[in-house]
């Protein structure tokens, strides 16, 4: 397997409108294997950080099972606009994909949606900014972004869910995989998050 530190702004898969994506770089990571390495889980285009890829079909299947069963431990760092209601807690709010002609698709909290759970812990604060550590216990689309907005403190730079303009302040900081032996990786803090995390006393 390979664990990449994906930069913010790079899509994992090529979109219908074209543009750069991780798929375009996969041949450089083939390293003599018969098949191209493939991502074992999702990471939004604007989210930086740890992304695991399987280099063979059996490896990809094994990694996929770890993520599907919730055994892979994913830790994110984010900077929020506002503050959550406590220094630590859990958001348990089901998510549903909703689409309208005017706004396109987005994820919303809805009792009819799929179960979604996120644990959070405050790392530091500065004024109306709060740095948090997030651990998703499920893997729904836009889960962390919607759950933080649901608490009234959207992720900074998340224009879709109320976080304002600019770069998305969300980092897949660490990934731990329960293999034999266990594998773990930590992503570097991207340049656009360095200042805000420092203001919150995190780095």
What pLDDT, on the 0 to 100 scale, is given for residue 34? 87
What pLDDT, on the 0 to 100 scale, is given for residue 125? 97
- Among residues 44, 46, 158, 180, which one is catalytic? 44
Region of residue 49 (left: phi > 0; alpha: psi -120 to 50; beta: else):
left
Q: Show the 3-state SS of the chain.
A: CEEEEECCCCECCCCCCCCCEHHHHHHHHCCCCCCCCEECCCCCCCCEEEEEEECCHHHHHHHHHHHHCCCCEEEEEEEEECCCCCCEEEEECCEEEEEECCCEEEEEECCCCECCEEEEEEEEEECCEEEEEEEECCCCCCHHHHHHHHCCCCECCCHHHCCCCCCCCEEEEEEEECCCCCEEEECCCCHHHHHHHHHCCCC
* Enclosing domain of residue 177: 2-199
Would the pLDDT of 15 be above 80?
A: no
Annotated active-site residue 110? The verdict is: no
Q: Structure tokens of 172?
A: 């897949």
Asked whether 155 and 82 are in contact (CB, 8 A), the reply is no
Q: What is the pLDDT of residues 40-99, one digit of tens each?
A: 998 999 999 999 999 999 999 999 999 999 999 999 999 999 999 999 999 999 999 998
Would the pLDDT of 103 be above 80?
A: no
Structural domains counted in the chain:
1
Instruction: Report, as an integer, the average pLDDT of 151-164.
Output: 96
- CATH code of the domain containing 69: 3.30.2350.10
For the chain, the maximum distance between any two Cα atoms, rounded to a whole number of angstroms, is: 53
């Amino acid at each position: 397997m390979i664990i990449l530190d994906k930069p913010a702004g790079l899509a994992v898969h090529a979109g219908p409108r074209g543009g750069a994506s991780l798929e375009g770089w996969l041949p450089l990571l083939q390293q003599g294997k018969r098949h191209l390495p493939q991502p074992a889980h999702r990471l939004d285009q604007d989210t930086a950080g740890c992304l695991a890829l399987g280099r063979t079909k059996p490896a990809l299947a094994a990694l996929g099972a770890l993520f599907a069963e919730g055994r892979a431990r994913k830790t994110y760092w984010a900077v929020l606009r506002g503050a959550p209601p406590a220094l630590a807690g859990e958001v348990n709010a089901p998510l549903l994909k909703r689409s309208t002609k005017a706004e396109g698709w987005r994820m919303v909290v809805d009792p009819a949606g799929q179960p979604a759970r996120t644990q959070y812990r405050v790392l530091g604060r500065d004024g109306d900014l709060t740095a948090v550590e997030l651990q998703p216990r499920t893997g729904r689309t836009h889960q962390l972004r919607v759950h933080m907005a649901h608490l009234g403190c959207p992720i900074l730079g998340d224009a879709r869910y109320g976080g304002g303009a600019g770069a998305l302040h969300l980092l897949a900081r660490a990934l731990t995989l329960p293999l034999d032996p266990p594998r773990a990786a930590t992503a570097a803090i991207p340049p656009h998050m360095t200042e805000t995390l420092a203001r919150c006393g995190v780095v």
